[in-house]
């Protein structure tokens, strides 16, 4: 387990290359958890995406992708 300070959305991490579990928290935001975080060359190969805390019955969807978007389909059914 390692705690890493963040300054202006940047951080430095000194871990051996490999696969890790990421858990990141920020005040007033939902915690970010991903059991498939990859570190390579002292760099985290994953975007950490935070969302404001939402009230029950409300949903927020955040889509992220790399430089080459091949296809994007989104469907939502609501009452």
How does DSSP assign 7-25, residue by residue? BTTB------SEEEEEEE-
Coil, strand or helix at 73 = coil
In this predicted structure, what is the pLDDT of residue 18? 93
Residue 42 lies in a domain: yes
Tokens 């029950």 label which residue? Answer: 56
Sheet containing 43-44: give its strands across. 18-24, 32-40, 43-44
Comparing CA positions, the residue from 20, 23, 2 lying closest to residue 12 is 2
In this predicted structure, what is the pLDDT of residue 61? 81
pLDDT by residue for the chain (79 residues), tens only, comes to 778 887 787 777 778 999 999 898 888 888 889 999 898 887 888 888 888 888 888 888 877 777 787 777 878 887 7
In this predicted structure, what is the pLDDT of residue 49? 81
In this predicted structure, what is the pLDDT of residue 48? 82
- The structural domain count of the chain equals 1
Residue 63 lies in a domain: no
Residue 38 lies in a domain: yes
Domain range for 33 is: 15-48
In this predicted structure, what is the pLDDT of residue 79? 75
């Amino acid at each position: 387990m390692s705690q890493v300070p963040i300054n202006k959305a940047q951080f430095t991490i000194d871990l051996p290359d490999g696969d890790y579990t990421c858990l990141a928290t920020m005040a007033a935001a939902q915690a970010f958890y991903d059991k498939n975080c990859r570190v390579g060359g002292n760099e985290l190969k994953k975007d950490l995406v935070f969302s404001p805390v939402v009230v029950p019955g409300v949903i927020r969807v955040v889509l992220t992708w790399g430089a080459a978007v091949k296809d994007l389909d989104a469907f939502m059914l609501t009452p």
